[in-house]
């Protein structure tokens, strides 16, 4: 019954969509002036060769602030939900015995966990700091940094959350990222310009320390995203490791 209702509604929606989408300029004939102008002026104006990162952290930096706070709010909501579930179940096992199986892990996993994490962190830092030059930036690099922690959690057998996912540190990292963005914006006001204006020296296009606040904003967003995703995964892992049956 519900399926039939849906199919009728979907047919109506499909008709509306096709009618609306047919009114767009045909594929490949984009007319927007803003975007194409930005392609031409960004390198000269902001000394940044990656136009997309310049848009995210300079021309439309306020939107990115909103997005990163969506991320922050989601991770906080998730932490509240999962910790409330855990505290309902667990009375006093916060310092209980470590789960068994700590030394019986697969040797290949142990190898990856030991030697694979450092290259991932280096790659993450590279992507974050080179955001204004080549494809990359805070968002992508932050997820890569978080994946280093995920690798540690996955390859460490049952011991992960207690020894690695130090929630205080991850929460501090995330808060530092979120607050740092606003702080850099306010620093723009203190420097006599508007909120989130690019007031640092622009440097030369193509060098690492260029484009003013774009680099700093990208770095703090990278910290925040890394902290948020690592915190989320650590919370999920601890959710499962809590009831005694180790991985």
Partner 1 sequence: MSFLPFAVAAWLLLVGLYGVVTSRHLVHLILCLGIVQASTYLLLLAIGYLHAGRAPIFVGITVGTPAVDPVVQALTLTDVVVEATVSALLLAIALQVDRRFGTVDPDAIRELRG
Partner 2 sequence: MTTLQAAVLIVVAASGTAVALTRDPTRQVILTGLFGLVLAVLFFVFQAPDVALSQIVVGSVALPAMVLLTLRELRRRAAERERGE
What's the CA gap between 216 and 226, in Å, rounded?
15
237 forms part of the interface with partner 2 (CB under 8 A): yes
Query: For partner 1, which stretch binds (CB under 8 A), given 109-117, 137-145, 159-167, 176-184?
Result: 137-145
Cα dihedral angle (155, 159, 160, 166), rounded to 10 degrees? -150
217 lies in the binding site for partner 2 (CB under 8 A): no
Residue 34 touches which member of partner 2, partner 1, none, C-beta under 5-8 Å by kind: partner 1
Return the residues of window 125-144 that contact partner 2 according to CB under 8 A: 127, 135-137, 139-140, 143-144
Closest CA to 132 of 188, 186, 64, 55: 55
How far is the C-alpha of 98 from the C-alpha of 69, rounded, in Å?
36
Q: Contact with partner 2 (CB under 8 A): which of 150, 173, 178, 184? A: 150
197 binds, among partner 1, partner 2, none (CB under 5 to 8 A by kind): none
Q: Binding residue for partner 1 (CB under 8 A) from 99, 113, 142, 160?
A: 142
What DSSP letter does each residue of 125-159 carry, written as one string? HHHHHTTTTSS--HHHHHHHHHHHHHHHHHHTGGG
Q: In whole angstroms, give the CA distance from residue 135 to residue 50.
A: 7
Can you tell me which of 74, 163, 243, 245 binds partner 1, judged by CB under 8 A?
Answer: 74
232 neighbors 71 (Cβ within 8 angstroms)? no
Tell me which of 85, 163, 194, 245 binds partner 1, using CB under 8 A. 85
Under the criterion CB under 8 A, does residue 163 sit at the interface with partner 1? no
C-alpha 5/C-alpha 32 separation (Å) is: 39
Stretch that binds partner 2, among 34-42, 65-73, 110-118, 233-241 (CB under 8 A): 233-241
Q: Which of 27, 29, 95, 108 binds partner 2 (CB under 8 A)?
A: 27
Residue in 175, 227, 187, 222 with CA at minimum distance from that of residue 64? 222
Residue window 32-71: x/- pattern of binding to partner 1, with contact defined by CB under 8 A: x-xxx-xxx-xxx----xxxx--xx---x--xx--xx-xx
Residues 165, 45: Cα–Cα separation, whole Å: 42
**Partner from partner 2, partner 1, none binding residue 77, C-beta < 5-8 Å depending on class:** partner 1
Distance of closest approach, residue 101 Cβ to partner 1, in angstroms: 24
Residue 214 and residue 196: Cα distance in Å, rounded?
A: 10
Token pair belonging to 168: 């205080």
CB of 193 to partner 1, least distance (A): 22
Q: What's the min distance (Å) between Cβ of 136 and partner 2?
A: 7
Expressed in angstroms, the distance from the first to the final Cα of the chain is: 42
For residue 204 the two structure tokens come to: 């030369």
Pick what 243 binds: partner 1, partner 2, none; C-beta below 5 to 8 Å, kind-dependent.
partner 2
């Amino acid at each position: 019954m519900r399926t039939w209702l849906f199919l009728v509604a979907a047919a109506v929606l499909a008709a509306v969509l096709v009618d609306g989408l047919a009114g767009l300029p045909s594929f490949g004939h984009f007319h927007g002036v803003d975007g194409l102008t930005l392609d031409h002026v960004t390198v000269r104006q902001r000394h940044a060769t990656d136009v997309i990162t310049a848009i995210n952290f300079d021309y439309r930096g306020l939107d990115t602030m909103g997005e990163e706070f969506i991320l922050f709010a989601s991770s906080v909501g998730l932490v509240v939900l999962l910790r409330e579930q855990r505290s309902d179940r667990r009375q006093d096992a916060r310092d209980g015995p470590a789960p068994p199986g700590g030394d019986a892990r697969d040797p290949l996993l142990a190898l990856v966990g030991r030697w694979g994490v450092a290259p991932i962190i280096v790659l993450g830092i590279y992507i974050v700091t080179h955001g204004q030059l080549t494809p990359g930036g805070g968002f992508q690099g932050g997820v890569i940094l978080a994946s280093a922690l995920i690798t540690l959690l996955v390859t460490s057998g049952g011991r992960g959350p207690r020894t690695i996912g130090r929630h205080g540190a991850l929460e501090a990292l995330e808060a530092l990222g979120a607050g740092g963005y606003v702080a850099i914006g306010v620093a723009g006001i203190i420097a006599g310009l508007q909120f989130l204006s690019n007031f640092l020296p622009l440097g030369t296009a193509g060098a690492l320390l260029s484009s003013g606040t774009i680099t700093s904003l990208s770095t703090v967003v990278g910290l925040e995203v890394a902290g948020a995703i690592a915190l989320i995964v650590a919370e999920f892992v601890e959710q499962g490791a809590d009831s005694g049956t180790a991985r």
